[in-house]
Chain A
């Protein structure tokens, strides 16, 4: 495998990405430009990940991007509902694009800032958060190329800092939209005891290529709720990598909904560096057409006494492909770890595909770790039962799918957003329903 990886040189897809990026979105004379050059070198040396790399066996990014060279728009479209619905949530809204960060943040309490990333690169907290050395070998060489790509071609992004003890009552809503190729980064740092809720909505246009990296640091006893809704155009490519570090007693409550993009790959690297921390990394994916959604979650229990929960559920219609790759790593001294991971998928059509690889890698003995994974179709007996109670087939299916996904929605702590997620899901079903009516 390693030999094969070495043999493949930077090719046409890599060059095109570099050309498309053009001049850097901002200049920075200091450390970052050095980092940018180093990242460009290593990206060019490694090239885009491909299926011969174990972590990318189900998503051959190199091939996908090579195809994109010859392919113009085919199926596209999406519902604008999610963005519209989220407008109703009372939040500090920041519009994030290659042009910068827009929004009215005058209402933010003291100690909370939302600023363009390019403006604060020299701040210690930004630099620390962007320093990945804390991950050691966990964010694996196989992910490095994607992070390098982002660093090398970075066009902008947002930095959020919540100071010691500051509790944000209202959520922050980061609205990402735009067309073409974008390489953006978010840095979110919560200092000791701080608490915030960050909602991200993604609405990229037709044939867009988006590459996001989020560097998130939760210091001692900080608490972050993070909800992401990815609803890019169904011809877009969406890459998102999260690098999240949790200090002692910190709490992460994460949720991702994947609805859009032709090809999406979400990778989450969670690392515990202090005892007693807790991370929830949940997600829902609902795909149709020829959509391809890959969810990769690595939770690194580097210290004792932490708890992690990963629950993903997906519904796959038409010829869509769902992928779940999870890994719970418990390092030698991480005793008293509680790690749970589950993925459940429903195949709604004859052409749909689900690939799952839930892994446990455990080097400590006093742990409780479990994973479960199921793939199947809607229970025919349950559909039959509902129909015998007078529901038509489509309603019966819709009801069962809602019930199936609801377990994950239930865990979303922000009540308003939770209701919106349910509405988005039911809208997805309406489309499913109209298809089955015919």
Chain B
């Protein structure tokens, strides 16, 4: 009954405040001039002290982007985005590259404390949790903890800008190798203006000694966040990486267009978990983040494994398809997703499993929960290449509707070109059962608690896949996100 208690407590914790990360921090910041042009890109590149090749790469992407059209196929609608009406770089003013917590602006530390992100290594060592954190604030990384300890194990975990300077060979080798700069409209935009993100490199045979985590925070008004994350696991390496994100509560829409690239070589395993909790906008759909993200993992080596787990509760509009290219023979991909939409939120999310290698397997479990007037779409592709023998896929997409104004859609694509492939897809859509609600209430639970409990049960398969620290947080989020959706 632990889960029940936690859920009940989580709901009690609400205290009426729905989005508790909606505050903003008053801090002086350096910004690029408003708008987007080659000058903006040169400004960002100069700020980050980048080598010429990086600038060239960005400029090429930008020129390509100018020729591209915004995708319109997703089941989301929003007013046209004015790409000139935003800042593409904003960084809290501080000495370049703080090395220790003492050098970090106390206001920032306070912000992360409020967000519940442990940045003080002592606290963490005292047993609160075992996570190394890279904290990204608007366009820059403010601090990365445990860098030294990780270095001892041979693990590189640092802000992306630092990696460009310190490990140019690795970055050049892998950057854009999974998501090419020309991949899609938003990925190309990101390639041109990306600011910061995390770079992770796990050398051959190393099992990363702690969970790695990046916490993204949008703070400044009218800015977009364009982070770029690159994770490489060499032969036999293992890493578990967590990503969290929040933003202040504002009336305007802010753009977040990230790119995440994962590379798993022979026998390597990458577990990537996200709790996405950007500001979703208010009940009337005013404000909120546009979350247009390209995430892709490449199982390049034999028997490699990439597992995506996501809990999507935030953002006004989500457009996100974490995918796996199963290139290595025997590699496997997993996608576990909970997508919750309430009020006027719109979610179009899913995955692609591209089976190129033989004996590759994939598993997709997607749980969509729609409440309020929201729209929640699962869109996914499972494709089997002609030469991929003995492929196995199982897909399950369940949608839960709470209330009669919301909508849930399932758009799976299944393409098989090899008879030895066994592909199974099943999907259901139903409403929250009145009988179950009644039963819970009859046992003394309030409506909100009962909903949180039932929805947590509905999502259980996915919640179990989250690292422990996240699982608790995620369960609470489920309750909070659906507050006010029933009765």
A interface residues, Cβ below 8 angstroms from B: 1-3, 54, 332, 335, 345, 347-377
Contact of A360 with B429 in the complex, beta carbons under 8 Å: yes
Can you pick out 25 interface pairs between chain A and chain B where the beta carbons lie within 8 Å of each other? A347-B421, A350-B419, A352-B417, A354-B415, A355-B415, A356-B414, A356-B425, A357-B412, A359-B411, A360-B427, A361-B407, A364-B401, A366-B404, A367-B401, A367-B430, A367-B431, A371-B426, A373-B412, A373-B423, A373-B424, A374-B423, A374-B425, A375-B416, A375-B421, A375-B423
CB distance from B368 to the nearest CB of A (A): 10
B257 within 8 A of A: no
For the complex of A and B, the 10 pairs showing the least CB-CB separation, nearest first, are A347-B419, A365-B401, A377-B419, A376-B422, A356-B414, A365-B431, A360-B410, A363-B407, A373-B425, A375-B416
B2 within 8 A of A: no
Contact of A362 with B421 in the complex, beta carbons under 8 Å: no
Q: How far does the alpha carbon of A354 sit from the alpha carbon of B419 in the complex, in Å? A: 9
Contact of A353 with B416 in the complex, beta carbons under 8 Å: yes
Contact of B73 with A1 in the complex, beta carbons under 8 Å: yes
Q: How far does the alpha carbon of A347 sit from the alpha carbon of B405 in the complex, in Å? A: 41
Q: How far does the alpha carbon of A377 sit from the alpha carbon of B420 in the complex, in Å? A: 6
Q: How far does the alpha carbon of A331 sit from the alpha carbon of B418 in the complex, in Å? A: 37
When distances are taken between beta carbons in the complex, the residues of chain B under 8 Å from A371 are 410, 425-427
Majority SS at the chain A contact face: strand
Contact of B426 with A365 in the complex, beta carbons under 8 Å: no
Looking across the interface, which residue of chain A has its beta carbon closest to that of B410?
A360
Looking across the interface, which residue of chain A has its beta carbon closest to that of B387?
A350
Q: How far does the alpha carbon of A347 sit from the alpha carbon of B415 in the complex, in Å? A: 12
When distances are taken between beta carbons in the complex, the residues of chain A under 8 Å from B404 are 332, 335, 364-366
Contact of B412 with A358 in the complex, beta carbons under 8 Å: yes
The count of A-to-B residue pairs whose CB atoms sit within 8 angstroms is 118
When distances are taken between beta carbons in the complex, the residues of chain A under 8 Å from B420 are 377
CB distance from B387 to the nearest CB of A (A): 10
CB distance from A427 to the nearest CB of B (A): 23
Contact of A365 with B406 in the complex, beta carbons under 8 Å: yes
* Cβ-defined partner of A376 (8 Å) among B405, B412, B423: B423
CB distance from B152 to the nearest CB of A (A): 49
CB distance from B207 to the nearest CB of A (A): 36
B69 within 8 A of A: yes
Q: 9 more A-B contacts (CB under 8 A) besides A365-B431, A367-B431?
A: A2-B72, A350-B386, A354-B414, A356-B415, A359-B410, A362-B401, A370-B428, A377-B421, A377-B422
CB distance from B449 to the nearest CB of A (A): 21
Q: How far does the alpha carbon of A358 sit from the alpha carbon of B417 in the complex, in Å? A: 18
B403 within 8 A of A: yes
If the complex has contacts A374-B425, A375-B421, are A365 and B403 also in contact, measured as CB distance less than 8 A?
Answer: yes
Contact of A373 with B414 in the complex, beta carbons under 8 Å: yes
Contact of A354 with B416 in the complex, beta carbons under 8 Å: yes
CB distance from B448 to the nearest CB of A (A): 18
* Cβ-defined partner of B419 (8 Å) among A349, A364, A369: A349
Looking across the interface, which residue of chain B has its beta carbon closest to that of A341?
B427
B402 within 8 A of A: yes
Q: Which B443-471 residues have C-beta < 8 A from chain A?
A: none
If the complex has contacts A350-B418, A375-B416, are A362 and B399 also in contact, measured as CB distance less than 8 A?
Answer: yes
Size category of the B interface is 35 or more
When distances are taken between beta carbons in the complex, the residues of chain B under 8 Å from A368 are 429-430
When distances are taken between beta carbons in the complex, the residues of chain B under 8 Å from A363 are 407
Looking across the interface, which residue of chain A has its beta carbon closest to that of B383?
A355
Contact of B409 with A361 in the complex, beta carbons under 8 Å: yes
Contact of B416 with A347 in the complex, beta carbons under 8 Å: yes
When distances are taken between beta carbons in the complex, the residues of chain A under 8 Å from B402 are 365
Looking across the interface, which residue of chain A has its beta carbon closest to that of B408?
A362
Looking across the interface, which residue of chain B has its beta carbon closest to that of A337?
B429
Q: How far does the alpha carbon of A416 sit from the alpha carbon of B425 in the complex, in Å? A: 34
CB distance from B430 to the nearest CB of A (A): 6
Looking across the interface, which residue of chain A has its beta carbon closest to that of B415?
A355
B83 within 8 A of A: no
Per-residue A-contact encoding for B161-199, CB less than 8 Å = 1, 0 else: 000000000000000000000000000000000000000
Q: How far does the alpha carbon of A21 sit from the alpha carbon of B424 in the complex, in Å? A: 44
When distances are taken between beta carbons in the complex, the residues of chain A under 8 Å from B406 are 365
When distances are taken between beta carbons in the complex, the residues of chain A under 8 Å from B419 are 347-350, 352, 376-377
Q: How far does the alpha carbon of A353 sit from the alpha carbon of B423 in the complex, in Å? A: 13
When distances are taken between beta carbons in the complex, the residues of chain B under 8 Å from A365 are 401-404, 406, 431
Contact of B407 with A3 in the complex, beta carbons under 8 Å: no
Q: How far does the alpha carbon of A376 sit from the alpha carbon of B420 in the complex, in Å? A: 6
Contact of B429 with A357 in the complex, beta carbons under 8 Å: no
B413 within 8 A of A: yes
When distances are taken between beta carbons in the complex, the residues of chain A under 8 Å from B415 are 353-356
When distances are taken between beta carbons in the complex, the residues of chain A under 8 Å from B412 are 356-359, 373
When distances are taken between beta carbons in the complex, the residues of chain A under 8 Å from B405 are 332
Contact of A372 with B426 in the complex, beta carbons under 8 Å: yes
Q: How far does the alpha carbon of A65 sit from the alpha carbon of B348 in the complex, in Å? A: 35
Contact of B425 with A360 in the complex, beta carbons under 8 Å: no
Looking across the interface, which residue of chain B has its beta carbon closest to that of A57?
B413
CB distance from A223 to the nearest CB of B (A): 28
When distances are taken between beta carbons in the complex, the residues of chain B under 8 Å from A2 are 72
CB distance from A57 to the nearest CB of B (A): 9
Chain B CB count within 10 A is highest, among A348, A353, A375, for: A375
If the complex has contacts A1-B73, A361-B409, are A367 and B429 also in contact, measured as CB distance less than 8 A?
Answer: yes
Chain B CB count within 10 A is highest, among A335, A351, A361, for: A361
When distances are taken between beta carbons in the complex, the residues of chain B under 8 Å from A345 are 416
Q: How far does the alpha carbon of A352 sit from the alpha carbon of B415 in the complex, in Å? A: 11
Per-residue A-contact encoding for B373-405, CB less than 8 Å = 1, 0 else: 000000000000010000000000001011111
When distances are taken between beta carbons in the complex, the residues of chain B under 8 Å from A349 are 419
Q: How far does the alpha carbon of A362 sit from the alpha carbon of B425 in the complex, in Å? A: 18
* Cβ-defined partner of A355 (8 Å) among B413, B422, B424, B426: B413
When distances are taken between beta carbons in the complex, the residues of chain A under 8 Å from B418 are 347, 350
